Amino acid sequence: MNYERIKEKLEILADAAKYDVSCSSSGSKRANKNGGLGNSNGTGICHSYTEDGRCVSLLKILLTNHCIFDCAYCVTRKSNDIKRAAFTVQEVVDLTINFYRRNYIEGLFLSSGIFKNPDTTMERLIRVAKKLREEESFNGYIHLKSIPGASDELMKEAGLYADRLSVNIEIPTKEGLKLLAPDKDHKDFIQPMKAVKSNIEIYQSEKRLIKNTPIYAPAGQSTQMIVGATGESDKDIMYSAHFFYEKFKMKRVYYSGYIPVADDKRLPSIGTAVPVIRENRLYQTDWLLRFYGFNIKELLNEDQPNLDMDIDPKLNWALRNLHLFPLDINRCSKEMLSRIPGVGMKSVRKIINARRYRKLNWEHLKKIGIALNRSKYFITCDSTYFEKKDLTPLQLKNKILQESSSKYSTHLNNQLTLFS
Amino acid sequence: MILVYDDTFDGLLSAIFDSYLYKLDSVEIRSVRVYQPEIFNETQEVITDEIKVKRLQKKLLQLFGISGLNKIFKAFLSESQDVENLLFYIIKTSISNNKSILNDAANDIVLSFDKLVKKVHREKHRMEAFVRFHLIEGDIYYANIEPDFNVLPLISKHFKSRYADQKWIIYDLKRSYGIFYDLKTVKEITIDLTTQNKKGIYNTIQTGQGDKNLLTTKQLKENNYTNLWNQYFKSTNIESRKNLKLHIQHVPKRYWKYLSEKV
């Protein structure tokens, strides 16, 4: 192995792959039953964290950053004057195995620029995964990118070796895509998702009848959207996300604040701050939809097309629905407990368990660990003391903001000065 | 009455069993690791007895279920001061109520128990993440760790099923013992580090530095992988999103010593 050369390739191709925010290695179940190398047991492991605070769980690289497309938002676009490189199949296999054996990673996340045509690219990605599984008896996690435009047959094969497949939709609206990636067709993104979704269903139903049916993409599919590149609203983004969750049974949708990589008048200029707060609010909304039983229309609609950046979306919802509160913490249902601002799902479980032993008062709730700074205005408990309920939503919001300090205060101040 | 046990989990269970067997009142349980004789308190040494352990375990399983019992074991591994009596209290109260008190999240004792379990569990998970193997002589993948708690018994299963086809050693330098997987089973081992040090293994493998002249080709190749990993770590970072506070929260500085990307 030519160490210096590999190091240079790694530098270029890891750097080009880093804009894919997903690094999750969870959700798959692959036992090490052939006495080979590795397993994945459902919960992922972050083996390190970069200085931007993101988890490093997989070896996330591009096979090559040569690309025939010219998408304005992408750093590897054809017209960009950058160093190009390509790994051989064997080089990726060796790196993965050697990193894995040293407990650096949970597995491989392999993506690629599109060289020649989509099928050639997809076929090469599959060869890496196949070699890892069949020649190296590797049972670790493999995440492959579905290349837009790849044929259904190749997508079927990919799922037999990969744990997760993903196509990044990148631009949430069709109009935006037309503007920024004129040579890409919306349909090309959807087709591989459809193929994978139907294969997952076929293999799952076969598995129920025939036990030795091979597993197909056990960690499902995911996708990613860029936030803040095309002036889309939060409603546009979350309704798209909702569409992918419903229609394609996505395991995850990722939201990636746009990091300017080009001087292009269609896009925010280089040096524009990454919209991290907005990203955070979108993830909070995503969680409310998936785990807290919220309906998308309750959070975003015609009257409310954007999220409030000052407060979290659950608090925002509660302020618009004050008539439902206060709730008695000792009596109310699990569904309503999970709708109280400042109460997370873990706290919901703890409250339900603890109230079997005794009636809970403020002291108990504090110990359990719920965020009383927000929740106290929305609940009653085993106590004669409670907050006055005659405030208007706006008064209440200001009161809560005054009494708490946001971890984003520096960001918020910056944004204020930008707009004034 | 003070019961002194041998610092093992089975020893603790035997001690608790004895307190019931001999109907002892106001018992305190202490590990031989920290025990100091007291003048006004009667002391009795507990002999670890497999039959007693099995019988108590059966009762505990029935009360707490397997997940509850695992929690109790985790709390025990925290080695925190007086954890024995915390566990003793929880077990005693649950037995007399004939119902586990572990779900009573608003109970102070349960709260401090939960905190211990959480800390140990987090440390276990961190060690599964932060162990960095180095390939040394004898085709053994070797890693040093210094965890806050005694987590080797908790992580052994994970590494055994994951790295089934390679020999490995994870060595806890703080507690001076390690676990060694020889392609069949995992055994506890102790290494005489002073003589090993002379061979240069433990010096060079930790940081990839050491005396370059002493390095064999194998070690040089090994350092290449470390460097490739460091390169990857650097290249995958997004400078414009830098958030060191979050970074350090995830990777506290005390672990950096054994993480080549942070050295």
Mean pLDDT for the stretch of residues B96-108: 91
A405 or A176: which carries more pLDDT confidence?
Answer: A176
- B55-94 residues touching A, CB cutoff 8 A: none
Q: CB distance A60–B236 less than 8 Å?
A: yes
Chain B residues 123-162 within an 8 A CB cutoff of chain A: 125, 128-135, 141, 143, 161-162
Among candidates B104, B132, B240 on the partner chain, residue whose Cβ is nearest the Cβ of A357: B104
Cβ of B129: how many Cβ atoms within 10 Å? Answer: 24
Burial A8-38 (b: 16+ CB within 10 A, else e): ebbbbbbbbbbbbbbbbbbbbebebeeeebb
| Residues of chain B positioned with their CB less than 8 A from the CB of A353 | 103-105
Paired residues of A379 in beta bridges: A327
Of all residues in chain A, the percent with pLDDT exceeding 70 is: 96
| Any domain includes A308 | no
Q: Note whether B224 contacts A3, CB cutoff 8 Å.
A: yes
The complex scores an ipTM of 0.89
- Under the banding of pLDDT at 50, 70 and 90, the label for residue B149 is very high
Phi then psi dihedrals of residue A355, to 5 deg: -75, -5
Query: Coil, helix or strand for A383?
Result: coil
Which chain B residues are Cβ-neighbours of A50 within 8 angstroms?
233, 236-238, 247
Same domain, A105 and A241: yes
A178, A49: one domain = yes
A90 and A206 assigned to the same domain: yes
Same domain, A105 and A203: yes
How confident is the model at residue A272, as a pLDDT?
Answer: 85
For residue A331, being part of any structural domain is answered with: yes
Residues A73 and A143 in one domain: yes
Answer yes or no: do A45 and B125 touch at CB < 8 A: yes
Q: What kind and span of H or E run contains A29?
A: strand A29-30
| Whether B25 contacts chain A with CB within 8 A | no
Q: What is the pLDDT of residue B228?
A: 94
Q: Cα distance from A392 to chain B (closest Cα, Å)?
A: 33
Do the chains contact at A354 and B129, CB–CB below 8 Å? no
pLDDT band at residue A411, thresholds of 50, 70 and 90?
A: low
Mark yes or no for CB contact A56/B231 under 8 Å.
Answer: no
Last residue of a domain, one of A254, A277, A299: A299
Residue B206 pLDDT: 46
Edge-to-edge order in the sheet of strand B28-31: B28-31, B2-5, B43-45
* Cα–Cα dist A306/A9, whole Å: 42
pLDDT at A116 over 80: yes
Does residue B205 carry a pLDDT above 50? no
Instruction: Give the containing element (helix H, strand E) for A55.
Output: strand A55-56
Of B141, B231, B246, which has the smallest distance from its Cβ to A10's Cβ? B231
Question: Which pLDDT belongs to residue B194?
Answer: 65
Does B200 have pLDDT greater than 50? no
* Cis? peptide before A326, omega within 30° of 0: yes
Identify the pLDDT of residue B191: 85
Across the range A182-192, mean pLDDT stands at: 87
Q: What is the pLDDT of residue A413?
A: 54
Please say if the pLDDT value at position B204 is more than 60. Answer: no
Question: What pLDDT does B215 receive?
Answer: 64
Query: Which chain A residues are Cβ-neighbours of B229 within 8 angstroms?
Result: 99, 102, 104
| Cα A11 from Cα A25, distance rounded (Å) | 22
The nearest CA of chain B is from the CA of A94 a distance in Å of 11
Number of folded domains in chain A?
2
Residue range A320-352, pLDDT digits in tens: 999 999 999 999 999 999 999 999 999 999 999
Q: Do A103 and B133 touch (CB under 8 A)?
A: yes
Per CB-CB distance under 8 Å, the chain B contacts of A6 are: 228
Residues A85, A167, single domain; the answer is: yes
The verdict on A109 and A135 lying in the same domain is yes
Range of the domain at A125: 3-299
User: How many whole angstroms separate alpha carbon A228 and alpha carbon A171?
Assistant: 10
Give the type of residue at A318: A
Query: Cβ of B243 under 8 Å from any chain A Cβ?
Result: yes
B45 alpha carbon, distance to own chain's centre: 25
State the average pLDDT over residues A374-396.
87
Quick check: A370 pLDDT over 50?
yes
